[in-house]
Amino acid sequence: MYKSPSETRVFCAALRARLDGFDGVDVIVCPAYTSLHEALGILATTEIGVFAQNAHWAKEGAFTGEISPSWLAEMGVGGTLIAHSERRQLFAETDESAALRIEGSLDAGLHVIACVGETEGEREAGETESVVSRQVEAICTVVEQDNLERLAIAYEPVWAIGTGRTATPEQAEEAHELIKSLLDVPVLYGGSVKPENAEELLSQPNVDGALVGGASLQVESFAAICETASRV
């Protein structure tokens, strides 16, 4: 929950200028609902995609406060995050509700970045494999083969979100390899990705990209990660 509409206009204009002519990787920003219109307007003539941060599963209905995925598609939004760790930790997102959101978003024609990952307690208890497998298998139950090309998974270990701690490249690679054994889609790493560690993480064979958190709030640090991704 950063960047008001006016701040989003400034950020997207600067990002557009900074990445002018840039290619080699897909770049996506995920502003708050209230800033989607501004982002779409400023980035419309670029290759930078605009995704939402969440979406409901229903086309419409008695769900006050929720946003229909078909409305997002009508706006021109390309896709949405689903089940970010903060949604799971703070807002009671479950594997089941995440699966419904993923299904509804894909059915509406959106791309989806679906997030999975274990807490610190689960990792220390040796439950990383079982937790991540359970989360991915819930996604598998609602994704049809025809929709796979619009799905990516983001592995974000909860203990590395907003803490400054980062999974080692070996830990990230191990988790990504597990996910790909269950579902053959691109897998992004999210968890305190910074310009300083991006190359080491993105060089891992099964790490296909990054879901960037705090480092995406500044144009220069985000652009530096994008440039690193294009080289590895």
Cα–Cα distance measured from residue 151 to residue 214, given in angstroms and rounded to the nearest whole number = 23
Q: Is the pLDDT of residue 162 over 90?
A: no
CATH number of the domain that 203 lies in?
Answer: 3.20.20.70
**Residue closest to 227 by CA, chosen among 72, 25, 89:** 25
Instruction: Note the pLDDT of residue 161.
Output: 74
Instruction: Note the pLDDT of residue 73.
Output: 98
* The two structure tokens encoding residue 232: 């590895």
Instruction: Note the pLDDT of residue 3.
Output: 98
* 122 part of the active site: no
Helix (H, G, I), strand (E, B) or coil at 80: strand
Q: Is the pLDDT of residue 107 over 90?
A: yes
For residue 56, what pLDDT band results from cuts at 50, 70 and 90? very high
User: Between residues 67 and 161, which one has the greater pLDDT?
Assistant: 67
Q: Which residues, at least 6 apart from 197, have a Cβ–Cβ distance to it below 8 Å?
A: 166
Please check whether residue 105 lies inside any domain of the structure.
Answer: yes
Q: Is the pLDDT of residue 163 over 90?
A: no
Please check whether residue 147 lies inside any domain of the structure.
Answer: yes
For residue 160, what pLDDT band results from cuts at 50, 70 and 90? confident
What range defines the domain where residue 97 resides? 51-56+65-231
Q: How many domains does the chain have?
A: 1
Please check whether residue 35 lies inside any domain of the structure.
Answer: no
Over residues 174-187, the pLDDT tens digits come to: 999 999 999 999 99
Instruction: Note the pLDDT of residue 191.
Output: 87
Please check whether residue 23 lies inside any domain of the structure.
Answer: no
Catalytic residue among 84, 86, 122, 176: 84
Cα–Cα distance measured from residue 110 to residue 75, given in angstroms and rounded to the nearest whole number = 11
User: Between residues 80 and 145, which one has the greater pLDDT?
Assistant: 80
Please check whether residue 41 lies inside any domain of the structure.
Answer: no
Average pLDDT for 21-30: 94
Please check whether residue 106 lies inside any domain of the structure.
Answer: yes
Instruction: Note the pLDDT of residue 159.
Output: 83
Instruction: Note the pLDDT of residue 4.
Output: 98
Q: Which backbone phi and psi does 114 adopt, to 5 degrees? A: -95, 130
Catalytic residue among 86, 93, 103, 156: 156
Quick count: other Cβ atoms within 10 Å of Cβ 18?
A: 15
Q: Is the pLDDT of residue 49 over 90?
A: yes
* 156 part of the active site: yes
DSSP tally for the chain: helices H, then strands E: 10, 7
Give the mean pLDDT of the chain: 95
Please check whether residue 201 lies inside any domain of the structure.
Answer: yes
